[in-house]
A and B are shown apart, each in its own frame.
Chain A
Amino acid sequence: MTRSPVLEISDLRTYFYSRAKQAFIRSVDGVSLSIARGETLGVVGESGSGKSVTALSALGLIGGSPGVITGAVEFAGGDGARAGGNGRRNLLQDLARHVTVTERDGRIVAVAKDEPGWQAQVERSMRGVRGKEIAMIFQNPKSSLNPFLTVGQQISEAIRLHTPVKDSREAKERAIAWLERVHMDSPRLRFDQYPDGLSGGMCQRAMIAMALASEPSLLIADEPTTGLDATIQSRIVALLAELKSGLGVTTLLITHDIRVVSRLADTVAVMYGGTVMEHGPARDVLAPSVEPKHPYTSALLASLPSAQKNGGPHAIDGRLSVIRGEVVDTMDVPRGCRFYARCDRVTDTIRARCMSQEPALAAVTAGHQIRCYLYGDEPRDGARAG
């Protein structure tokens, strides 16, 4: 990685608390990620893998109970880049002042958090970052746009908040230009429409226009195609690809749809049960038969219907190859590898370690890390690679 990272998340932990079970839901449990300038990082994972919560935590959009408890989010925005990389700052600064964590046997068993104090701190440190430096688009575009404001009002608001354009007429022209840019048909007409009058695909285009209108250094796209029709999905993906090549905006792309990631991402992080299992160049991680690969990644790729269609390795008489068992419950995270219970590549030499201690994310080649004893020796608490 020669380019400096725009965003570097390290050891992020976001927990929630279930009153009914008196247990923590370890949604994000020690995630480290970094995105280089101009790059698209695809984060894939099933529901409950913590991919969306990671992104929301990085922007301070997670509420209490208890929410973010450890970690750092180093961000180097546009100004920082111009100043020669010295503009980096930790968005989760002073987190430790507000949170006290009690560990027992290397596992967090109690958290005390000063919620109001932390919320105030987040609002302070996010000022000028949210929307301006880091913009975000969400899944469910229809419910993510304010139903009480017209599409135009919402885009103009972003422009007037975050760009030097303050004049409302000028902001309107800018907004319409952005609507054209995302290929919204008849943008002038759409400008005055409420989100309810638009289809899901059009709402997502409006969301993208709104996010990009403030010219952010980083775009976080959280499941941008989920819930849309197949043909619309491919249109949105095409739009994102076009914007990527046209604007070169750094993107954190979060999705469960491996097809979308393989089309758009340069690097890929595979998440499972609240942590990153594999992190590396998209072509290495997602190509079905390229090794080395985390057992979870290869099983996930093999279980896709498309792998089946293309004569994947596990296809037998029309049955899909499956990952047995259920997705790991983040309330009941095992001590060993999170994937151990479903893994079919455990060997006798590593079995004991798989069961008892979580492996570290270790580099197998330059820029490609895998969290598995098949490829690395150190357990998690050893020297952390990468």
Chain B
Amino acid sequence: MVHPGRGAKVTTKLAAFRRVGVMVVRELALTALLLLGVSLVVFVILHLSPGDPFSVLLEGQAPGQAARASVREALGVPTTWYGRYLAWLGNMAHGNLGTSIRTGVPVAGEIVRAGPNTLYLTLGSLLVTLLLAVPLALYSAWRRSGALARALTLAVYLISAVPVFWLGYVVIYLCIHRFGLFPLLSATAEPQRHGWLYILLPIIVLGVANGTVSEVTRHLREELGRVMAEDYIRTARAKGAPVWRHAFKEGFLLPMTEMIAAKMPFVLGGAVIVEQVFNWPGLGRMAWQAAQDRDFPVIMGITIVAAAFVRLASLLRGVIYAGVNPRTATE
């Protein structure tokens, strides 16, 4: 009773924290559930495919029915589909994604080795996309009907329609053949003059031409426009407060987070092509090679890792939403 106000304050703050906590736990549970679903989808695809690649995954790469049967007996491999699924899931839980058919190397190790390269590429490209889209969105939200805004909008559409592989060639030609900035080598080679530029090139190419720039711009502009028309922004203007301070969370932060989470799969998909063009030793190139060779343990592992990555971005979005927006947190 000494400080009723302070006690009350503590409880409301605590309640807010708890609400965010509950939200985060729920997001985590949802992520786990979705990853389970992802694994099931992958399992079903492989299970249905001709040639029974799934047996190979569990039983090794012994050729011939008789040899496999003996392996099955020796290892105690389950024969029902759900038994196989669970066994496979158990393997994955232990970090065992099988071995590559082509090279015989454990897939998990390969993914760990190539993964960071793709991570740089995708995160960097997302950054480039945002660096491109955000100023454009802000400008066209501000000058919606200006001539320059219209021209920029058209330019964004144009950029989004450019085939990323062709843009890759153009950039390589310009930088390497025309201006001779550096020799054509892969990123794993020893440091080169302008080597950093070579790492930047695919990032820029994928960031510009992953096909999402126009959608990201449009979404940011529309959300900002919508929020600027909200009643509470009018209140902020009427009280002479800086509008940006009031519009930032709902008009900028949330749509940004949303776009990062929503466009992650597109950028990952684009990475497959860009890694091919630039000879970039990442997961995308691995996936391409694996599809070429029907090396399904590899492509399976990559699919699951990529999906997990997408879910991670969504999880991040969920956490930011929970932290920023008390409304969703109270639901």
Contacts and interface: CB of A to CB of B under 8 A. Distances in A.
Contacts of A131: 238-241
B327 A145 contact: no
B235 A192 contact: no
Contact of A130 (B5, B232, B239): B239
B143 A144 contact: no
A57 to B, nearest CB: 12
A157 B238 contact: no
B60 to A, nearest CB: 56
B189 interface: no
B50 interface: no
Given A143-B230, A147-B232, A148-B326, A130 B9 contact: no
B102 interface: no
A143 B231 contact: yes
Contacts of B234: 56, 61, 138, 144
A186 interface: yes
A194 interface: yes
Closest 7 CB pairs of A and B: A131-B240, A188-B5, A131-B239, A130-B240, A189-B8, A136-B238, A143-B231
A349 B238 CA distance: 48
Interface string B1-28: 0001100110011000000000000000
B84 interface: no
Contacts of A214: 239
Given A136-B235, A144-B231, A192-B12, 11 more contacts: A59-B238, A128-B240, A136-B239, A144-B234, A145-B232, A147-B250, A148-B325, A188-B9, A191-B9, A193-B12, A211-B239
A132 B240 contact: yes
Given A188-B5, A194-B326, A162 B232 contact: no
Interface in A154-185: 157-158, 161-162, 176
Task: Point out which of A136, A146, A189, A194 has the most chain B C-beta atoms below 10 A from its C-beta.
Answer: A146
11 contacts: A59-B238, A61-B234, A130-B239, A130-B240, A136-B239, A143-B232, A144-B231, A148-B249, A157-B241, A162-B239, A210-B239
B4 to A, nearest CB: 7
Contacts of A325: none
B219 interface: no
A196 B326 contact: yes
A116 interface: yes
Interface of A: 56, 59, 61, 116, 126-132, 135-136, 138, 140, 143-149, 157-158, 161-162, 176, 186, 188-189, 191-194, 196-197, 207, 210-211, 214
B326 A130 contact: no
Contacts of B250: 147-148
A61 B13 contact: no
Given A145-B232, A196-B327, A158 B238 contact: no
Contacts of A135: 238-239
B13 A148 contact: no
A161 B232 contact: no
B236 interface: yes
B143 A161 contact: no
Contacts of A138: 231, 234-235, 238
B32 to A, nearest CB: 29
A257 to B, nearest CB: 20
A161 B240 contact: yes
B324 A192 contact: no
Task: Point out which of A59, A138, A148, A191 has the most chain B C-beta atoms below 10 A from its C-beta.
Answer: A148
A143 B4 CA distance: 30
Task: Point out which of A59, A145, A186, A194 has the most chain B C-beta atoms below 10 A from its C-beta.
Answer: A194
A337 to B, nearest CB: 33
A207 B238 CA distance: 12
B279 interface: no
Nearest to B246: A146
A147 B326 CA distance: 8
Contacts of B325: 147-148
A138 B12 CA distance: 27
Contacts of B143: 116
Contacts of A157: 239, 241
B135 to A, nearest CB: 18
A310 B234 CA distance: 40
Interface string B214-255: 000000000000000011101111111100001001100000
B232 A146 contact: yes
Interface in B88-116: none
A158 B232 contact: no
B330 interface: yes
A158 B230 CA distance: 19
Contacts of B324: 148
Contact of A145 (B4, B235, B240, B330): B235
Contacts of B327: 147, 194, 196
A180 B200 CA distance: 59
Contacts of A196: 326-327, 330
